[in-house]
Amino acid sequence: MHSKKVFILFPDGVGLRNFAFTGFKEIGEQLDFDITYWNNTIFPIQSELGYKELHIGSTKIHPKTPVLSHARKRVELALSRKRANDHVYNTYRFPLKWNGPKHFLKSAFVKFHERFNATPHGWQRLMDQMYAAERSTDRYQKAKTQLQEHQPDLVFCTTQRATQAIAPMLAAKDLGIKTACWIYSWDNLPKGMSTIETDYYFVWSDLMKQQMLEYYPKTVPEQIFVTGTPQFEPHYDNSILLSRKQFCEEHHLDEDTQYICFSGDDQTTSPLDQYYLEDTAIAVRKLRDEGYNLAIIYRQVPIDFTGRYDKVLEKYADVITTIAPLWKPMGEHWNQVMPTKADFARLVNTCYHSEMVVNICSSMVFDFVIHGKPTIFPNYEQPQLKKGIRDIGQNYEYIHFRSMPDREKSVVWAYNKSEIYEGIKGLLDGALNPVSITKQWYEVVNRSDSPNKASERIWKGIAEILPR
């Protein structure tokens, strides 16, 4: 009996952390799967990791695809807004551009469909047009030729978000090859971020399964596997933990100092993020004056090259040490900065050796709570906020934050600058401790039983799809 052949499709680099840098491949091979990484990224999987890979020959999508996908997303959000009578879906929309004739025509097309075609049939027409456009590309033909040559039994796509995934997944479907898709992030389904339709879907939790059925009513429960997510698996691997002495020597830290991690956010989510870092530094200076042996580890978001933190880092160099993510630039553009396997160990150790994290609304809250560490979420406007700059407060109104079992107790909220100081002090003194509720939240958004077994469950799901 021959091994079942599985293509793991990387339309972009976001899937590397889940499916190349964990034990995912080794588990699949132990279950006798023949695994090939179908690589659309600039990351050299074979030379870097020694894994079998096949490069997709063309990365050029159809010129119509981005605008069709944008219209599809707007229609999808309009449908959700009407169905739920909830205006939060409006906040998921990015502003349309009207300057210049090209932008005007594209935006007019999107706006027309959002206003007049926000129906299930209108959504399907846009999907069909997008798929027809992608089927006409050289990229589709090259993907189809590769599939005909290698004849995999399943193509597993590592993210549902990328328009780069459309042509290869359509080629697989058109050849009668089974297809499956990983829903990349805990917030993606309400945001209308799915560009592909597959035979099966893999999700983090029962909550995401419910959302999949709600937002994509063409799906049925039998298509969906609830597995947990591999992205948290390294936190359960004690072999990558450094001793306190090793960690501090590596990063020029003091073993006796307590460290708060400030985890930076991207410019879209938190455009004034540098000022929240400054507020945290001011709070730490004040606590040091009161006798606390305290400092900050700053971990930047890997794709932020704006330099917006530089002045704060320089001004508060006495209390802030940067421990940068181990990502590699492999091209000239921001989306060609790729994660590395070594960064998993760096993140795990940063969580383990910090007392807490201060962060604007990311899933870093879960990375830290796995180690029993609390989170402070700032939720106040900065004085630098002006028209055209996004207020971080809308982030906390998003659908995925409604999964908190107790909103006020799941994290420590800082509703003004002074509450960052009060939150840090309360957590250090033991007067505050949201960790037990944060853990309940983690068990809502991620499969709660054996969260370190997500990769294994994904392969078991694939084995159900491909019975021997």
Q: Is the pLDDT of residue 193 over 70?
A: yes
**What share of the chain in percent tops pLDDT 90?**
89
**Residue where the block lists tokens 């309009």:** 78
Ordered DSSP codes for 425-462:
HHHHHTS---HHHHHHHHHHHS--S-GGGHHHHHHHHH
Q: Is the pLDDT of residue 336 over 90?
A: no
pLDDT band at 322 (very low <50, low <70, confident <90, very high): very high
**What share of the chain in percent tops pLDDT 70?**
98
Comparing 58 with 34, which gets the higher pLDDT? 34
Q: How do strand 328-329 and strand 337-338 relate by DSSP bridges? A: antiparallel
- Please, what are the domains in the chain? 4-61+137-229+450-465 (3.40.50.2000), 65-132 (no CATH), 237-445 (3.40.50.2000)
Per-residue pLDDT tens digits for 102-144: 999 999 999 999 999 999 999 999 999 999 999 999 999 999 9
Q: How do strand 258-263 and strand 375-378 relate by DSSP bridges? A: unpaired
Do the beta carbons of residue 183 and residue 203 sit within 8 Å? yes
Do the beta carbons of residue 84 and residue 127 sit within 8 Å? no
State the Cα–Cα distance between residues 70 and 339, nearest whole angstrom.
Answer: 27
Write down how long the chain is. Answer: 468
Q: How do strand 224-226 and strand 337-338 relate by DSSP bridges? A: unpaired
DSSP, res 97? P
Q: What is the mean pLDDT of residues 374-395?
A: 88
For the four alpha carbons of 286, 288, 290 and 292, in that order, the dihedral sign comes to positive
Question: pLDDT at position 436, please?
Answer: 98
Q: Is the pLDDT of residue 195 over 70?
A: yes
- Predicted TM-score (pTM) above 0.85: yes
Comparing 451 with 94, which gets the higher pLDDT? 451
- Show the beta-strand stretches assigned E in 141-293: 154-157, 178-182, 200-203, 224-226, 258-263
With H, G, I as helix, E, B as strand and everything else as coil, classify residue 304: coil
Question: Directed axis angle between helix 101-116 and helix 65-84, to 10°?
Answer: 30
Question: pLDDT at position 385, please?
Answer: 81
Burial class (CB in 10 A: 0-12, 13-18, 19+), 328: middle
Spell out a b/e string for 48-85, using b for 16 or more CB atoms within 10 Å of the CB, else e: bbeeebbebeeeebbebbebbbbbbbbbbbbbbbeeee
Question: pLDDT at position 1, please?
Answer: 61
Q: Is the pLDDT of residue 332 over 60?
A: no
Q: Is the pLDDT of residue 367 over 80?
A: yes
Ordered DSSP codes for 27-80:
HHHHTTEEEEEEE-SSS-HHHHH---EEE-S-----TTHHHHHHHHHHHHHHHH
Do the beta carbons of residue 133 and residue 62 sit within 8 Å? yes
State the Cα–Cα distance between residues 6 and 54, nearest whole angstrom.
Answer: 12
Per-residue pLDDT tens digits for 407-439: 999 999 999 999 999 999 999 999 999 999 999
Q: What is the mean pLDDT of residues 357-385?
A: 95
